[in-house]
Amino acid sequence: MKNFWKLFGIIVFITVIGFTMTACKEKDNDDDDDVDNIDDSVVTVSQLPDFPSDSNPVMTEEAAQAVLAELKASEILFTLMGEVEEVFEANMLEIDDEENWNVSFSDKSLPEGFVRVSIPSFTANTTRAGGFITLDEFSKAGKAYDNIQFAVGDKENSAWSLNIKGELIKAKTEKGVTVAQGSTITDEKTNSSSSVTVTTAGLYNEFKVNHIESGKNQTIRALTVATSSGSVKIIFEFNHDYNLTANNIKLWGETTNLTEKVSGSLKVYGGNNTLLIDYPITDWESYGEANHMFFGYN
């Protein structure tokens, strides 16, 4: 709970795909339909805040690129995401069970803050049987795992989901760059589920399992931005879906079958809501480039 950034975007899914027994949260295959229960609606340019009255909406791709460059250089997006983090941490209740919780809150801000944060749902559920119960107990007690015995049918199942939205309740200006009131800094919906079932009995370093895991993430950022180069509206949409299957393997170092889909786009609009930049996201490389164009990092 202390590492806020691991709850977001790519880091979440890298953590999930890089499965380790003590870190991954899993659940029965019967519940995999929950992973698809993400609203795939995408914001439209007409829903973004109006251009500031004293700004100059750009009309060329070159001018739009100049605005993006000023946005990156100002690092205002890092400031605003940092405020989302502060609101998140200030409003999270103490969670006694680190693997089972159900948290929600709405319309929370810092005193004199710029960002309003809502979490309609942040949930996790983990169940264990057999050797996995002992593994959890030993892990919490700091004991060695070597002599834990796993039997066929022992299972650890888990699921978690996060729905979080942060939007500006007043315009924020930093280093000559203004993000308009009503802009959405992040609107993220993430679900993940997994099931691990022992297929070959044995001690901790010997047993084998069937492992099934899937997840889905949708992140949207929708801003109206004004700089000395002009003003634009930006919609950054990212989607990541993955499925992982493996039969009768050890959980450490053996090959799994991973399929994934990365999609989305970075769209920048100028005067009269004219689309000036339309950069498609089709793989991790293009996602990294879109991040570089928007945040200034890959």
pLDDT per residue as tens digits for the range 188-213: 999 999 999 999 999 998 999 999 99
pLDDT per residue as tens digits for the range 154-179: 999 999 999 999 999 999 999 999 99
Q: Which of 91-95, 113-117, 199-203, 264-268 has the lowest mean pLDDT?
A: 91-95
Q: Contact, 251 vs 209, CB < 8 A?
A: yes
DSSP state letters, 149-179 = EE-TT-EEEEEEEEEEEEEESS-EEETTEEE
CA distance 173 to 150: 58
Residue 98 pLDDT level (bands cut at 50, 70, 90) = confident
Q: Where are the alpha helices (DSSP H) in 202-283?
A: none
- How far is CA 5 from each of CA 79, 109, 113, 162, rounded to the nearest angstrom? 14, 19, 20, 13
Cα angle for residues 287, 192, 285 (degrees, 5° grid): 15
Q: What pLDDT is stored for residue 37 in this prediction?
A: 46
CA distance 237 to 187: 10
User: Residue 48 contacts by C-beta under 8 Å, 6 or more apart in sequence?
Assistant: 182, 183, 222, 223, 224, 233, 235, 269
Mean pLDDT across the chain: 85
pLDDT per residue as tens digits for the range 118-140: 999 999 999 999 999 999 899 88
Residue entry with tokens 């030993």:
138
Nearest alpha-carbon partner for 52 in 165, 166, 168: 168
Where do the domains of the chain lie?
4-294
Could you tell me which residue, 203 or 2, shows the higher pLDDT? 203
Q: Where are the alpha helices (DSSP H) in 117-215?
A: 131-141
Whether the per-residue pLDDT at 227 is higher than 70: the answer is: yes
pLDDT per residue as tens digits for the range 71-92: 999 999 999 999 999 999 888 8
Nearest alpha-carbon partner for 69 in 177, 141, 224: 177
pLDDT per residue as tens digits for the range 38-73: 455 678 999 999 999 989 999 999 999 999 999 999
Residue 277 bridge partners (DSSP): 268
Q: What pLDDT is stored for residue 41 in this prediction?
A: 62
Whether the per-residue pLDDT at 259 is higher than 60: the answer is: yes
Token pair for 179: 């993000």
Helix axis angle, 61-74 relative to 76-91, nearest 10°? 50
Nearest alpha-carbon partner for 221 in 279, 169, 264: 264
Residue 224 bridge partners (DSSP): 233
CA 168, chain centre distance (Å): 19
Token pair for 52: 């500031």
Q: What is the DSSP letter of 85?
A: H
Exposure string for 74-86, b = 16+ CB within 10 A, e = fewer: bebbebbbebbbb
Q: What pLDDT is stored for residue 100 in this prediction?
A: 87
Token pair for 70: 């000023």
Q: What pLDDT is stored for residue 18 in this prediction?
A: 33
For 236-240, what is the mean pLDDT? 96
